């Protein structure tokens, strides 16, 4: 398996939770999540540092997800907007091109102590690093209970965030 994973990551299929011990493994699971999600992906990070977020594979996966159904949505919340604006041109382009489906917010509270990185997909699957860039990370292809907890955490953060207005020039979004 790519990234040293010993099992396939199939979204929505019950299987034991994975313990991810390297960036390559986390990026492989992120890629699987983005390519397999059916309706919604929520991403919470201080900064998006995994290589996947700057790849052509991201563009293809996001485009496929949002063109399958006009109700599908991908939402990002970041803390470090300087890093985001300078390193995430693919996500910025997608958010500008598909502004109704790809949303990017920043936390309003700059004193955020939450350094956790997580992704929740279709409310049943997740990948989570409790300390940004620290390993091991955890992932589960079907864990509705844990996914619901992370989804609520994301919703709480979303309610304390706002769109990164400077990413959008009037007439371009």
On whether the CB atoms of residues 78 and 114 are closer than 8 A, the answer is no
Q: What is the pLDDT of residues 73-110, one digit of tens each?
A: 999 999 888 888 888 888 998 999 999 999 999 988 76
- Which domains, and CATH codes, for the chain? 16-164 (3.30.870.10)
User: What ranges in the chain are assigned the alpha helix state H?
Assistant: 23-36, 56-68, 81-87, 89-97, 144-159
Torsion angles phi and psi, residue 117, rounded to 5? -115, 130
Q: Tell me what percent of the residues of the chain surpass a pLDDT of 90.
A: 55
pLDDT in tens, 29-50: 999 999 999 999 999 998 887 7
Task: Compute the average pLDDT of residues 24-30.
Answer: 92
Q: pLDDT over 70 for what percent of the chain?
A: 88
Residue 59 · residue 34 · CB < 8 Å: no
This prediction's pTM: 0.90
Residue 170 predicted with pLDDT over 70: no
């Amino acid at each position: 398996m790519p990234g040293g994973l010993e099992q396939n990551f199939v979204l929505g299929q019950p299987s034991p939770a994975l313990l991810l011990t390297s960036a390559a493994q986390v990026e492989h699971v992120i890629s699987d999540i983005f390519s397999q999600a059916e309706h919604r992906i929520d991403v919470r990070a201080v900064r998006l540092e995994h290589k996947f977020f700057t790849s052509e594979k991201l563009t293809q996966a996001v485009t496929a997800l949002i063109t399958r159904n006009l109700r599908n949505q991908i939402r990002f919340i970041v803390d470090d907007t300087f890093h985001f604006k300078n390193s995430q041109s693919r996500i910025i382009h997608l958010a500008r091109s598909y502004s109704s489906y790809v949303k990017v917010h920043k936390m309003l509270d700059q004193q955020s102590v939450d350094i956790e990185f997580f992704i929740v997909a279709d409310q049943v699957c997740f990948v989570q690093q409790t300390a940004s860039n620290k390993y091991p990370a955890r992932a589960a292809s079907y864990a509705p209970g844990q996914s619901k907890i992370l989804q609520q955490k994301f919703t709480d953060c979303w309610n304390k965030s706002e769109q990164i207005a400077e990413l959008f020039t009037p007439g371009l979004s």
